[in-house]
């Protein structure tokens, strides 16, 4: 009996000491987790790890997760060249751990992103080239990362895609865009019944916005892009109906994490957060991507970043047919711009 117990203990010890498989290849798919301060965050690495070049998606939300970015088009047009890291932030997507409300804040999430980069370099080689792409709230998170200590030395490039780095400015720009475009559309007698209440709201809420006003402007902004036929409609319910079964999504985790993070109290702190005043610290090559019909994060935010960062290697690219989700609404434009930027700076 003792021999059996000893054998089992030795076997368990050997198994636990085995090195985790890390694949270097052109068509890789690996899932692993980063544990940091109460959260166990999912990372899916797909594509060409042999390129030693990694693009990290920093998703929106807070709380939405990275599953939505892992599209077939991106797989065929970016992952074939580089490795893409789909990171679920704490309390988002398939990430696990406690609710850790005390750790749900921007400085903590900034540290999480730094740890993600360090983990990628540890697994795949310290010489790996890292690019970060922030979408929507991910723009705020990447702006925090890029302006904290010497974090930007860890990356070769920053991609700001339909992002926000200054929420008070964001509200001002959203209101102005809704008002200006709304009035133009009413003059053309287009969707008058939909634009009129938006115009009325903007005329009676003119600045120094409360958290509730900010949320209402964002809701109107999300609706506004759907009033233009050129913009590809995002059928979220169809996506949620088809993809979870096909791609084995953990729907329960996604829903509960999104509900928790989107209603967390730290969102009120974020509403007053801005990084415009410190963007002069950024000296890293930067690509700014924006949609012509993005009312949620208007292109004026990209202009502000462009004018404030302290690098001459910067570019703004405007999609003529997308709203707030260029990576789905103008896929070819998005992938072409991202690939060209990475190729130049890898």
Residues near 281 by Cβ (< 8 Å), separated by ≥ 6? 146, 147, 152, 310
| Region for 97 from its dihedrals, namely left if φ exceeds 0, alpha if ψ lies in -120 to 50, beta otherwise | left
Burial 302-313 (b: 16+ CB within 10 A, else e): bebbbebbeeee
Residue pair 175/200 in contact by the 8 Å Cβ criterion? no
Residue 239 banded pLDDT, cuts 50, 70, 90: low
Predicted confidence (pLDDT) per residue in 113-143, tens digit: 999 999 999 999 999 999 999 999 999 999 9
Q: How far apart are CA 22 and CA 181, in angstroms?
A: 51
Q: Could you tell me the maximum CA-CA distance found in the chain, to the nearest angstrom?
A: 88
Q: Which helix (H) or strand (E) holds 87?
A: strand 83-87
**Nearest-angstrom CA–CA distance, 90 and 64:** 10
Closest by Cα among 225, 197, 206 to 298: 225
Q: Using pLDDT thresholds of 50, 70 and 90, give the confidence band for residue 10.
A: very low
Give the pLDDT of residue 143. Answer: 98
| Domain residue limits, the chain | 24-166+232-345, 171-227
Q: Is the CB of residue 290 less than 8 Å from the CB of residue 324?
A: no
Q: Is 38 left (phi over 0), alpha (psi -120 to 50) or beta?
A: left
CATH 3.20.20.70 fits 24-166+232-345, yes or no: no
Helix (H) or strand (E) holding 39: strand 39-47
**In the predicted model, is pLDDT for residue 13 greater than 70?**
no
Q: What is the reported pTM?
A: 0.91
- Phi and psi of 297, rounded to 5°? -130, 80
Confidence of residue 252 (pLDDT cuts 50, 70, 90): confident
User: Among residues 15, 40, 25, which one has the least CA distance to residue 124?
Assistant: 25
The percentage of the chain sitting over the pLDDT mark of 90, rounded to a whole number, equals 77
- Two structure tokens written together for 248: 């084995």
Residue 116 in contact with residue 131, Cβ under 8 Å? Answer: no
Above 90 in pLDDT, residue 237? Answer: no
């Amino acid at each position: 009996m003792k021999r059996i117990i000893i054998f089992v203990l030795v076997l368990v010890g050997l198994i636990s000491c085995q090195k985790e498989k890390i694949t270097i290849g052109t068509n890789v798919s690996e899932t692993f987790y980063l544990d940091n301060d109460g959260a166990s965050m999912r990372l899916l690495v797909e594509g060409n790890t042999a390129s030693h070049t990694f693009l990290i998606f920093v998703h929106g939300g807070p709380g939405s997760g990275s599953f939505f970015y892992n599209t077939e088009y991106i797989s065929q047009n970016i992952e074939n060249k580089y490795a893409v890291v789909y990171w679920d932030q704490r309390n988002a997507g398939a990430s696990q751990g406690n609710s850790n409300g005390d750790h749900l804040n921007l400085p903590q999430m900034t540290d999480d992103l730094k740890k993600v980069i360090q983990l990628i370099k540890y697994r795949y080689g310290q010489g790996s080239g890292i690019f970060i792409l922030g979408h929507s709230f991910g723009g705020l998170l990447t702006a925090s990362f890029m302006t904290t200590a010497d974090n930007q030395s860890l990356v070769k490039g920053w991609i700001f895609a339909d992002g926000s780095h200054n929420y008070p400015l964001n509200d001002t720009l959203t209101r102005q865009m809704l008002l200006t475009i709304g009035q133009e559309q009413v003059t053309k007698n287009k969707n008058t019944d939909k634009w009129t209440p938006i115009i009325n709201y903007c005329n009676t809420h003119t600045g120094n916005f409360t958290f509730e006003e900010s949320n209402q402007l964002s809701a109107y902004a999300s609706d506004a892009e759907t009033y233009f036929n050129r913009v590809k409609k995002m059928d979220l319910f169809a996506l949620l109906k088809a993809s979870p079964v096909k791609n084995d999504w953990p729907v329960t985790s996604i829903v509960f994490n999104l509900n928790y993070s989107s209603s967390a109290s730290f969102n009120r702190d974020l509403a007053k957060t801005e990084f415009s005043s410190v963007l002069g610290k950024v000296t890293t090559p930067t690509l700014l991507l924006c949609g012509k019909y993005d009312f949620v994060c208007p292109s004026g935010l990209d202009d502000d970043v462009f004018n404030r960062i302290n690098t001459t290697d910067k570019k703004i690219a405007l999609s003529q047919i997308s709203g707030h989700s260029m990576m789905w609404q103008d896929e070819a434009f998005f992938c072409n711009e991202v690939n060209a930027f990475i190729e130049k700076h890898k």
